[in-house]
Amino acid sequence: MPEETWKTAAELGLVSCHSCDRLNRASASRCVRCNSRLHVRKHDSVQRTLALVVTAMVLYIPANALPIMYTSTLGNAKPSTILSGVISLWEHGSLFIAAIIFIASVFVPLAKMLMLIYICWAIATRQQSGKLDKSNLYIVTETIGRWSMIDVFVVAVLAILIQLSGLITVEPGPAVVAFAGVVVMTMFAAMALDPRLIWDETPIQTH
């Protein structure tokens, strides 16, 4: 069936529950299954999503510019950023690990922010083509975002495990906080966006 002939639940007088996904009548105020409050569309969804994405983009700069960890050998501390760590792993032959950290810590957060901005732009400008592709793109952004936290996990594990009688120590750097903020903000941004807006040809009254 062509996208042009598809109808949204709202156009059929129905609304899905955000908690359990059950379809309810649009006139209902609460879900008949889980009693959660119903919203035909999330209020100011695009505006809140963009605000969170902008916050994530601001945090993305110190997350990559500041040291994410300090490696201390015999009292000599050496700071490492995400990119310098990737380069170091690459130079030492750990190509697979370097690629994973680069994709999860550099590429994925940036790609997710750009994809959310694109979806918000498509909703705001009422783009009618490729709605299914945009909906699938949203599913991808919501699914992969949580895996960007891998760098924080790596630093945490190293800080606990690499403590060799005071000869080698690993301590987290200020970029850890900024990077965690990027991941959390992009996750909240994806949660704030109402993907049903992708399918609306005209604005629908929220309640």
Per-residue pLDDT reduced to its tens digit, 140-150: 888 876 666 66
Query: Dihedral, CA atoms, 48, 146, 115, 151, nearest 10 degrees?
Result: 110
Q: What is the pLDDT of residues 85-129, one digit of tens each?
A: 788 778 877 788 778 778 878 888 888 999 999 999 998 888 877
Candidates 93, 71, 66; CA nearest to 158 is 71
Distance between CA atoms of residues 84 and 61, nearest Å: 15
Q: Are 207 and 40 in contact (CB under 8 A)?
A: yes
In sequence order, what are the residues at sequence separation of 6 or more whose Cβ sits closer than 8 angstroms to the Cβ of residue 5? none
Candidates 60, 174, 146, 50; CA nearest to 110 is 60
Q: What is the pLDDT of residues 11-22, one digit of tens each?
A: 777 887 877 878
Q: What is the pLDDT of residues 190-203, one digit of tens each?
A: 988 988 888 776 65
Residue that has been written with the tokens 């999860």 in this structure: 104
C-alpha 178, offset from chain centre: 14
* 204 HSE (CA, 13 A, CB side): 24
Q: Are 183 and 109 in contact (CB under 8 A)?
A: yes
Is 67 exposed, middle or buried (CB count within 10 Å of its CB: 0-12, 13-18, 19+)? buried
Looking at residue 153, what is its pLDDT? 66
Measured between alpha carbons, how far apart are the two ends of the chain, in Å? 31
The H or E element spanning position 205 is none
Q: What is the pLDDT of residues 37-69, one digit of tens each?
A: 877 777 788 999 999 999 999 999 998 899 887
Distance between CA atoms of residues 84 and 88, nearest Å: 6
Cα angle for residues 144, 193, 51 (degrees, 5° grid) = 100
Looking at residue 148, what is its pLDDT? 62
Residue that has been written with the tokens 């510019």 in this structure: 65
Distance between CA atoms of residues 50 and 52, nearest Å: 5
Task: Classify 170 as helix, strand or coil.
Answer: strand
